[in-house]
Chain A
């Protein structure tokens, strides 16, 4: 499930279909949460409809959720949707923060997988980078990759 509004939404879909093709899946299941007939703004996204399309209509048994910032703002709603479908659906979350929330919601590790950074840790690291830059305005500028973590069975 991706957000067609995102600048990387189409890229994520391409990565997904390429990865599934390696498993011999020619037509993988996916849904653009934005839906058809939307004005193109995130406020039009109906997450329940998107899940119904993917799970009920298409028959998906697992959903890989994009690390889209808008989705992250909808974390509590996404958690409720996943809980309501826990018997037929395994969620794969893009951040371990989702995994922590899922555990707190009472979901077992066999019911979800969270692979990716911890947003909480990343924001702390961003704070540290800012602090270092305040102290030392000069110096090299560089990007580092966030540690990839995993919560699951």
Chain B
């Protein structure tokens, strides 16, 4: 069914069988896929929409288009923090997005840490039809993401894989801050 989803969309639009979002896809509006290792809370989702809006896009399906905003559709998949099989679950989630949207998928967002971003990069690289899809990742640690050529985004802490020394200094800063500002003494040892 998934592999024929595009044909299904094309073949059923005239019959009015599609959900509103899918109907918009058939009409040519761009789609953004989101894969999350946990779940995107409503506050973060609204912030994401706000960022899109600043660039001229309305991603909130509950709001009408205003001004010069252009509609962009969102398809989200999340794996509810099931880390144990995160790679498998997340890759399947990415595959579901790419299979469902196919050429309508213009950007894929991976959030919720490295597992989502790594799974997204791996999955996108696995097929010639998806190797040019831009990947926007939100990760805690900087990572090569399988050297996927079209990856960009934001990381929290700098770290280098491949044997180089870790460059993360934030842990040290937190401990120093607690020690100095909050004056912790004493029972630090087991």
Residue ranges of A at the interface with B (Cβ–Cβ < 8 Å): 3, 5-8, 11-12, 15-16, 19-20, 22-23, 25-29, 39-43, 58-62, 64, 67-70, 72-73, 90, 92, 97, 110, 113, 115-117, 119-135, 137, 141-146, 148, 150, 152-153
Contacts and interface: CB of A to CB of B under 8 A. Distances in A.
A73 B41 contact: yes
Contacts of B184: 61-62, 90
B181 A124 contact: no
Given A64-B178, A141-B150, A28 B113 contact: no
Q: Is the interface of B mostly helix, strand, loop or mixed?
A: mixed
Output the residue of A15, A20, A144 with the most chain B CB within 10 A: A15
B188 A29 contact: yes
Interface of B: 30, 32, 36-41, 43-45, 47-57, 59, 72, 81-84, 86, 106-107, 109, 111-115, 134, 136-138, 140-142, 149-159, 166, 168, 170-175, 177-179, 181-182, 184, 186-190
Given A8-B141, A64-B171, A146-B154, A27 B189 contact: yes
B81 A67 contact: no
Given A127-B50, A127-B51, A134 B44 contact: no
Output the residue of A25, A113, A117, A130 with the most chain B CB within 10 A: A130
10 contacts: A7-B115, A8-B141, A59-B187, A60-B187, A115-B170, A116-B156, A124-B51, A126-B51, A130-B57, A134-B55
